[in-house]
C-alpha cells in the first residue's frame, strides 16, 4: 500500500494493485466498447468511431454511433457495473461468496414486477418502473423477514433463497397467464438481453451509478470493510452496523432493480464479477470499484460474444452470462469447498 | 471511587428472555476489572451492555456521565474499545493491515493514514509482540498469535477503556497466561482500564485488581480479589465447595476445589468403592 500525504494533514492510502486492476479493466471495457460500436452491418474503424463520438464524423456515422450503437454499449457497461457493485455489496455484507442478488430473489422480484406489466399490458416505461418497484419491494420484504435484532448473513441468505423460490413460481404462473406474443417477449426479457436498448434504458442506470457510487464509497467504503470482521467488531470500532446495512443494501437493491429494468435479469454477473475482482486485486474488503470495472468489462464482452459467436444466430446476452457464470459457479463451489470456506 | 464507565438500574434482555433486572455496576478507573460467575449468569451480557452492543431495556450505561447510546458512535469508539468473543479475519488480510483497522475511529475520508496512525499501529504491534508477524497473513497464525493480533487492533484504537469478552477461551494454558500477562502489562504500564470476562476463577483472582462476581443476573460481590474470593463466596456463587489458599507464586487467593473423597469423608469406604 502507498500513502499520499499533504502538509495540511490530509492523507490518502491507496492500493496500487487494486487501482491497476480497476484501471486496466475499465480501459479494456472502453476499448472493447469502441470495437463493439465499430462492428455491425456498417463496419467502422476505431478511429472513425472515436471521431464520431467526439462529434467530428460524418452526420450518418454520428447518427449510427450515438443513436444506434452507443446506447446499447453504454447500457451494457452500466448494467454490468451496477450488477457487479450490488454483488460486491451483498457478498461483503452477508459474508458469503454466494450471497449475490440473483441468488437471493432480488432480480426475480424485479422480473415479477416486469411480468405483471407484460400480463396486464403497458409501455416500456411502465415495465421498467414496475421492475424497479418489484425489486425494491422484494428487498424490503427480505429485509423485514430476516430482521431479528438486526439482520444477519445466514438468515438473509435463507430468507432470500426462499423468496427466490416463491418468486420463480409466481413468475412461471404469470408467464402462463400472458398472451402468447407477450409471453415470448417476456421470456426474452427474462433471459436478459441488450437488443434494441436506447438511451431511455441506459440513462436511469447511469444516473443511479453516478449518484449512489460516490455516496456509498464516501459514506460507507471503509466501514464496509470493518463489517466483514463481524458485527460486534465493527460496532466496537464505531460503525453503526444496522444503519449501514440498511442504507447500503437499499442502494444495492436499487442498482440491481434498475439494471434488471434496463436489460432484464442478466444472471451471474453480480456473482462472478466481485470474485474475479477479489482474485485479481488480492485485497480484502468489497473491492467496489474494481468489481464495477470487471462487471462492465464482463457484460460488454459477453454481449459481443452473444452477437458474434454464432454468425447468423444472435443470442441474448443472458444466455452467455448464464453459461459462463454457471460454469464459474461450479468451479467456485468446488474450490471454495476444498479450501474449507463453504 | 472514580468511575468513567458504569451501569445503573439496567434491565438486560434478549427478545423476551430477561437476563438481569435492576443491575448496577461501576468499573473503577485504572482498574483491571474481571467479571466472574457460573455459565449463563449474565456476565457476557453485562459486558455487551457496557460496550453498548446491547441496549438496556431499562436503566442506562453511563460513559463519563452520559448515556452511552446518546453519544456519537465514533466518539465512543475513541474512548471505549472492545475485543469481542468472535471476530472474523477477512481472507488473506495481513497482520499490520488488520491492526491498522483499529484506527478507524480516528480516521476520516481525507485523513486515511496519518503519521500518528502509523506510529500507533507500530507501537500496538510491539506491545503485543506481533511486530515480527507484521507482513504475515492472519489466517496462517496460531490461535495465541491471532488473539494477540486482535488485541493489537483493539490497542490501536487508543481507548483509555478496553473491554475483553473471554479473551482466553479456546487457548491452551500457556497461551492463556501469555494473554493475561499481556493484559496485566497494558493495565500497569499504559494505565488503561481493563474489563474482562473470564471463566477461570484462579486467573481472575491472580490478575484482577477488582472483581465482580455474578449469579443469576445479580452482582453477588464486588471488590478486590482478596475480599471477594473466599470459600463461602465461591460456594455461594458457583455452588462449589472449596478451600482458598494463598497462591504460592503471587500471594493472591487460589481456589482449590474440595476433593470428592473429602467431601464425603463420613462414608469413606463407600466413596472409595464408588470410585
**A157 dihedral zone (left: phi>0; alpha: psi -120 to 50; beta):** alpha
Q: Do B82 and A232 touch (CB under 8 A)?
A: yes
| Inter-helix orientation angle A124-145/A106-120, to 10° | 140
Q: What is the pTM of this model?
A: 0.90
Residue A151: pLDDT band (50, 70, 90) is: low
Q: With 60 as the cut, is the pLDDT of residue B243 above it?
A: yes
Chain pair A-B, CB pairs under 8 angstroms: 91
All three cell numbers of A101, joined, read: 442478488
- C-alpha distance from B242 to closest chain A C-alpha (Å): 37
Q: What is the pLDDT of residue B63?
A: 97
Tell me the nearest-neighbour CA distance from B76 into chain A, angstroms: 7
pLDDT interval class at A236 (50, 70, 90): very high
Q: Report pLDDT for B15.
A: 81
Kindly determine whether residue A233 and residue B81, on different chains, have CB atoms separated by under 8 Å: no
Range B262-270 average pLDDT: 51
pLDDT at A124: 77
- Residue A223 contacts B where some CB pair is shorter than 8 Å: yes
- A236 and B104 within 8 Å at the Cβ level: the answer is no
DSSP string, A288-333: HHHHHHHHHHHHHHHHHHHHHSSTT-PPPHHHHHHHHHHHHHHHHH
Looking at beta carbons, which residues of chain B come within 8 Å of A10?
110-111
Judged by CB atoms closer than 8 Å, whether chains meet at B112 and A11 is answered as yes
Residue range B191-211: average pLDDT?
96
pLDDT at residue B268 tops 80: no
Residues of B in contact with A233 (CB under 8 A): 82, 84, 87-88
pLDDT surpassing 70 at residue A149: no
Q: Would you state the pLDDT for residue A118?
A: 81
Q: How confident is the model at residue A342 (pLDDT cuts 50, 70, 90)?
A: low
Does the beta carbon of A222 lie under 8 angstroms from any beta carbon of chain B? yes
Mean pLDDT for B39-62 is: 95
pLDDT of residue B126: 94
pLDDT at position B103 is: 96
pLDDT computed for residue B150 by the predictor: 96
Are the beta carbons of B53 and A236 separated by less than 8 Å? yes
**Rounded to an integer, what is the distance from CA B233 to the centroid of its chain?**
21
Share of chain B above pLDDT 70, in %: 95
Beta bridge partners of B8: B60
Residue A152 has pLDDT above 80, yes or no: no
In angstroms, what separates the C-alpha of A12 from chain B's closest C-alpha? 5
pLDDT band at B54 (very low <50, low <70, confident <90, very high): very high
Count CB neighbours of B108 within 10 A: 12
Distance, C-alpha A27 to centroid of its chain:
18
Judge contact between B10 and A144, C-beta under 8 A: no
Instruction: Kindly provide the b/e burial profile for residues A271-302, where b requires at least 16 CB atoms within 10 angstroms of the residue's own CB.
Output: bbbbbbbbebbebbbbbbbbbbbbbbbbbbbb
CA-based nearest residue in chain B for residue A15: B97
Minimal Cα–Cα distance from B95 to chain A, Å? 12
Cα nearest neighbour of B55 on chain A: A149
Rounded Cα distance between A217 and A230, Å, is 20
Which chain B residue's Cα is nearest to A148? B15
Cα dist. A29→A34, B121, B194 in Å?
A: 9, 39, 53
Give the mean pLDDT of B98-102.
Answer: 96
Q: Mark yes or no for CB contact A233/B114 under 8 Å.
A: no
Say whether A226 and B76 touch across the interface (CB within 8 A): no
Distances (CA, A) of A338 to A157, A189, A331, B79, B91: 22, 37, 11, 42, 15
Inter-chain contact B15–A149, Cβ cutoff 8 Å?
Answer: yes
- State residue B82 phi and psi, 5-degree precision: -145, 135
Instruction: Note the pLDDT tens digit of each residue in A7-31.
Output: 888 888 889 999 999 999 999 999 9
- Can you tell me the mean pLDDT for B161-171? 93
Mean pLDDT of B193-219: 96
The mean pLDDT value of chain A amounts to 90
Rg (CA), chain B: 20
The predicted-structure confidence for A259-284, as pLDDT tens digits, reads as follows 999 998 898 899 999 999 998 998 88
* B177-185 mean pLDDT: 94
A182 neighbors A118 (Cβ within 8 angstroms): yes
Confidence label for A98 from pLDDT (cuts 50, 70 and 90): confident
Best probe of the B interface among A237, A239, A242, A244, by most B CBs < 10 A, is: A237
Contact B112/A13, CB-based, under 8 Å?
Answer: yes
Query: Could you please report the per-residue DSSP string of A50-66?
Result: HHHHTT-S-HHHHHIII
H helices present in chain B, as ranges: 43-50, 73-77, 95-100, 115-127, 143-156, 173-190, 201-207, 225-228, 231-238, 260-263, 268-273
Q: Is the pLDDT of residue B275 over 50?
A: no
Confidence band, pLDDT 50/70/90 cuts, at residue B189: very high
The stretch A314-334 carries a mean pLDDT of 88
**B92 → closest Cβ in A12, A236, A282:** A282
Q: What is the pLDDT of residue A150?
A: 66
User: Looking at the complex, does the CB of residue A339 fall below 8 Å from at least one CB of chain B?
Assistant: no
pLDDT at B274: 44
Amino acid at each position: 500500500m502507498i500513502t499520499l500525504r499533504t502538509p495540511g494533514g490530509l492523507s490518502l492510502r491507496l492500493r496500487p494493485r487494486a487501482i491497476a486492476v480497476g484501471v486496466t479493466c475499465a480501459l479494456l471495457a472502453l476499448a472493447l466498447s469502441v470495437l463493439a460500436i465499430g462492428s455491425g452491418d456498417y463496419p467502422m474503424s476505431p478511429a472513425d468511431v472515436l471521431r464520431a463520438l467526439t462529434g467530428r464524423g460524418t452526420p450518418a456515422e454520428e447518427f449510427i454511433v450515438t443513436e444506434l450503437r452507443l446506447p446499447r454499449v453504454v447500457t451494457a457497461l452500466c448494467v454490468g457495473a451496477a450488477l457487479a457493485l450490488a454483488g460486491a455489496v451483498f457478498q461483503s455484507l452477508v459474508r458469503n461468496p454466494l450471497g449475490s442478488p440473483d441468488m437471493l430473489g432480488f432480480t426475480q422480484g424485479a422480473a415479477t414486477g416486469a411480468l405483471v406489466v407484460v400480463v396486464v399490458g403497458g409501455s416500456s416505461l411502465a415495465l421498467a418502473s414496475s421492475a424497479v418497484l418489484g425489486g425494491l419491494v422484494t428487498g424490503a420484504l427480505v429485509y423485514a423477514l430476516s430482521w431479528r435484532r438486526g439482520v444477519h448473513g445466514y438468515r438473509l441468505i435463507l430468507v432470500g433463497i426462499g423468496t427466490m423460490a416463491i418468486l420463480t413460481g409466481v413468475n412461471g404462473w404469470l408467464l402462463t397467464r400472458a398472451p402468447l406474443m407477450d409471453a415470448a417477449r417476456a421470456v426474452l426479457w427474462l433471459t436478459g438481453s441488450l437488443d434494441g436498448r436506447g438511451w431511455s434504458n441506459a440513462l436511469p442506470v447511469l444516473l443511479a451509478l453516478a449518484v449512489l457510487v460516490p455516496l456509498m464509497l464516501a459514506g460507507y467504503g471503509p466501514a464496509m470493510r470493518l463489517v466483514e470482521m463481524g458485527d460486534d467488531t465493527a460496532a466496537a470500532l464505531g460503525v453503526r452496523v444496522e444503519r449501514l446495512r440498511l442504507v447500503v443494501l437499499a442502494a444495492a437493491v436499487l442498482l440491481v432493480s434498475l439494471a434488471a429494468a434496463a436489460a432484464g435479469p442478466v444472471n451471474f454477473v453480480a456473482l462472478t464479477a466481485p470474485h474475479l475482482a477479489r482474485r485479481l486485486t488480492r485485497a480484502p474488503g468489497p473491492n467496489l470499484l474494481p468489481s464495477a470495472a470487471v462487471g462492465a468489462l464482463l457484460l460488454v464482452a459477453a454481449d459481443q460474444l452473444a452477437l458474434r459467436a454464432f454468425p447468423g444466430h444472435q443470442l441474448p446476452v443472458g444466455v452467455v452470462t448464464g453459461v459462463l457464470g454457471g460454469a464459474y459457479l461450479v468451479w467456485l463451489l468446488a474450490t471454495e469447498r476444498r479450501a474449507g470456506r463453504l | 471511587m472514580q468511575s468513567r464507565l458504569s451501569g445503573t438500574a439496567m434491565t438486560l434482555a434478549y427478545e423476551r428472555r430477561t437476563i438481569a433486572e435492576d443491575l448496577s455496576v461501576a468499573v473503577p478507573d485504572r482498574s483491571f476489572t474481571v467479571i466472574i460467575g457460573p455459565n449463563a449468569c449474565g456476565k457476557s451480557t453485562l459486558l455487551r451492555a457496557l460496550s453498548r452492543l446491547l441496549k438496556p431495556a431499562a436503566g442506562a450505561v453511563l460513559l463519563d456521565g452520559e448515556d452511552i447510546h446518546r453519544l456519537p458512535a465514533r466518539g465512543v469508539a475513541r474512548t471505549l474499545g472492545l475485543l469481542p468473543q468472535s471476530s472474523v479475519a477477512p481472507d488473506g488480510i495481513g497482520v499490520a493491515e488488520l491492526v491498522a483497522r483499529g484506527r478507524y475511529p480516528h480516521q476520516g475520508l481525507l485523513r486515511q493514514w496519518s503519521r500518528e496512525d502509523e506510529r500507533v499501529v507500530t507501537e500496538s504491534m510491539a506491545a503485543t509482540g506481533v511486530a515480527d508477524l507484521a507482513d504475515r497473513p492472519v489466517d496462517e497464525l496460531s490461535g495465541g498469535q491471532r488473539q494477540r493480533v486482535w488485541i493489537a487492533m483493539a490497542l490501536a484504537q487508543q481507548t483509555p477503556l478496553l473491554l475483553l469478552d473471554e479473551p482466553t477461551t479456546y487457548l491452551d494454558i500457556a497461551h492463556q497466561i501469555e494473554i493475561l500477562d499481556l493484559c496485566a502489562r497494558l493495565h500497569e504500564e499504559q494505565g488503561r482500564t481493563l474489563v474482562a470476562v473470564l471463566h477461570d476463577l484462579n486467573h481472575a483472582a491472580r490478575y484482577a485488581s477488582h472483581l465482580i462476581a455474578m449469579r443469576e443476573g445479580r452482582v453477588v460481590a464486588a471488590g478486590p480479589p482478596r475480599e471477594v474470593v473466599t470459600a463461602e463466596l465461591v460456594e455461594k456463587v458457583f455452588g462449589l465447595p472449596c478451600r482458598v489458599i494463598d497462591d504460592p507464586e503471587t500471594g493472591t487467593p487460589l481456589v482449590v476445589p474440595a476433593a470428592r473423597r473429602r467431601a464425603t469423608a463420613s462414608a469413606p469406604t463407600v466413596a472409595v468403592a464408588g470410585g
